[in-house]
Amino acid sequence: MKRYGILLYGLFGYLVGLGTLLYLVFWVYPWSWMPTTLDGGQPRSDPLFAFAVDVALILLFGLQHSWMVRPGFKRRFERWVPYGARRATYTLISSLFLGLILLFWQPLPGVIWNVAEGSPGWWIATLLYFFGWGVAVIATFQIDHFGLLGLHQAWRAWRALPDPEPQFQERGFYRWVRHPIQAGTLLGLWATPLMTTGHLLFALGFTLYILIGLHYEERDLLRTLGEAYADYRRRVPMLLPRLWNPKNS
């Protein structure tokens, strides 16, 4: 019965995490059919207060992620939470803090740029938006999409399968950049025909969070995968692909 409970918990965490991330993808673009967007709405409070609220929301999200991957927290977390439910729990908590941003983000006055709909600039920004998020989504399937959101671990616990050894694989977008999920996310955040002050704050905050997170992730990958990842890091850039593939040169 416990194994079935973990499987259902993992499925619930996966659906909540996927739904929250999908909403975020559409929320950062000024779609007219969305109930709320990052660039929509009129300022509802004093700009300084709105700015403070938005910064606090970004900091809360970043601190939650940073705190939950610290070795001290992970040791206590793994002692109390079974293997099959760990990633799903992380996904649910992350979805909660991301949901706080989606619910309580405060519009800020000011527009940095606003490209007319249907113009060449609008099409370029929109195509880059789709391309960026498309790369991010496809890249999750090139490693372990279901494992990233906790469903794979719950399924393995249900089947009573052992935790697999970490393996290094270089395929798909990972032949061109080491972190295509984050690269696609950054492109999706910045490629917009409407850049409001609030959008700029959000994009800057998450860019800083991603860069800091990648610093620690790279350190962990080097410790886990050793020389294989060190060689990979020497050959493949982090976020911006080269104009040629060194393997074919």
CA 173, 177, 182 angle in degrees (round to 5)? Answer: 90
Domain count, the chain: 1
Lowest mean pLDDT, pick from 99-103, 138-142, 217-221: 217-221
Q: What is the mean pLDDT of the chain?
A: 90
CA 6, 11, 13 angle in degrees (round to 5)? Answer: 90
Three-state DSSP string of 170-210: CCHHHHCCCCHHHHHHHHHHHCCCEEEHHHHHHHHHHHHHH
CA 237, 126, 186 angle in degrees (round to 5)? Answer: 30
pLDDT digits (tens, 9 = 90+) for 107-135: 999 999 999 999 999 999 999 999 999 99
Other Cβ atoms within 10 Å of 229 Cβ, number: 18
Residue with the bigger pLDDT between 66 and 1: it is 66
pLDDT digits (tens, 9 = 90+) for 12-23: 999 999 999 999
- pLDDT over 60 at 29, yes or no: yes
- Which residue range(s) make up the domain with 178? 2-248
